[in-house]
A and B are shown apart, each in its own frame.
Chain A
């Protein structure tokens, strides 16, 4: 059985480590914050200028001056710090953030990722995604394995305009988990979702991969 959105978030949460500074993308990655292992101290960065994101506010705590990068109202924690956008991306670009977990429309077996633009459709812009994939030390992608039409989104080469090239370290899809080989020569299949078979993966994956379960 393929993983659900919450399953993907739970699996991605296993990539967290004690003391990590982490940036979560919008969508499924945001759910990862619900699955921090007990006793682990993880600090979430919001690229609009905050380290130490707290939970959503109670109704009487809402503060228009305190939002996350998804423009949602949030709260601060005792360890929170605020800074400018240029400091925020210095932190990202300079390799000071340990991990980012992002969604993707397509990934390729050399670590390329496309998640910002579909030609011919309205383009909202890349926001901070290009900076995150280029600068954060470890890039983990969570995504649907196939499109609505059943076509592989884990490819030999991305068809959509890229967000970054050779930047992804780990791909968690609805069917399993793949490591990207550091030399860009393909993927290693390291886990399967429950009841997903190697045949299922073979039928639904265009990318080059070796089985290493």
Chain B
């Protein structure tokens, strides 16, 4: 028995969900574990004025870089950008808003949002630009700043495998922000390499329970590598 969560394409999986001005979380670290197919479908949809919450902003012409080229993104909330000339150009020209979050604060804001926690105190960023305008509180003699939980209208994530009920398993460091973003989207759409029948996974090995997943597609993946670094085999 399926759950009605499986869609035939990325475009179909996003149907009825898109409007201008949406806030969207997009999983991945660099180009590793990004929802390639759903990003391409967002590009093709022409939806605009987006606020995108994602650790990075892709590279020129790939990943979220595609949505920058088409000017569909109004604002990014990220920890690390700069792999992307078009991003740089739009930002320096004042065409793109940018909010930097420390990477761990970004992850925890998303975790908190998904867990129904509106705010939390962290030592990260205390005494820096990040703390400007934020409440400071002392606990046991150490100072912490108030950060707020983040939620999104839509989360688009990438997992390795899903079962038909939306239970997910990730692979290696392609997990990164994906599981936590799955919890913080009002609607979460997942693309995977393979959909398997219910009962195929050992329940103890599931990373993200299906309750967080609304729609699933299988995609084809380029999996572009940013920094291919190898060592040489010693010759005999």
Residue of B nearest to A50 (CB): B173
* Other contacts beyond A48-B32, A131-B102: 15, CB < 8 A: A47-B103, A48-B29, A58-B232, A65-B223, A73-B228, A84-B175, A85-B104, A86-B111, A88-B107, A92-B104, A93-B104, A122-B82, A125-B81, A127-B102, A128-B104
Contacts A58-B230, A63-B172 given: A93-B223 contact, CB under 8 Å? no
Report B49-65 residues with CB < 8 Å from chain A CB: 55
A161 to B227: give the CA distance in the assembly, Å.
29
B66 at the interface (CB under 8 A from A): no
Residue of A nearest to B207 (CB): A84
CB distance from B72 to the nearest CB of A (A): 21
CB distance from A209 to the nearest CB of B (A): 22
Residue of B nearest to A64 (CB): B223
CB distance from B4 to the nearest CB of A (A): 27
B interface, CB within 8 angstroms of A: 29-33, 55, 78-82, 88, 91-92, 100, 102-108, 110-111, 122-130, 160, 170-180, 223-233
A124 to B79: give the CA distance in the assembly, Å.
8
Of A143-151, A162-170, A190-198, which stretch is located at the interface? A162-170
A184 at the interface (CB under 8 A from B): no
Q: A65 to B173, Cβ gap below 8 A?
A: yes
A82 at the interface (CB under 8 A from B): yes
List 4 tightest A-B contacts by C-beta distance, closest first: A89-B104, A124-B82, A131-B104, A165-B127
A15 at the interface (CB under 8 A from B): no
Report A73-89 residues with CB < 8 Å from chain B CB: 73-74, 76, 82-86, 88-89
Q: B178 to A56, Cβ gap below 8 A?
A: no
Contacts A86-B180, A164-B128 given: A73-B92 contact, CB under 8 Å? no
A66 at the interface (CB under 8 A from B): yes
A112 to B126: give the CA distance in the assembly, Å.
11
Residue count of chain A within 8 Å CB distance of chain B: 54
A interface, CB within 8 angstroms of B: 46-50, 55-59, 62-74, 76, 82-86, 88-90, 92-93, 112, 117, 122-131, 134-135, 161-166
Q: Which residues of B contact A68 (CB under 8 A)?
A: 173
The binding surface of chain A is classed by DSSP as loop
CB distance from A141 to the nearest CB of B (A): 16
A201 to B59: give the CA distance in the assembly, Å.
43
CB distance from B119 to the nearest CB of A (A): 16
Q: A135 to B124, Cβ gap below 8 A?
A: yes
Contacts A47-B103, A49-B176, A128-B103 given: A73-B29 contact, CB under 8 Å? no
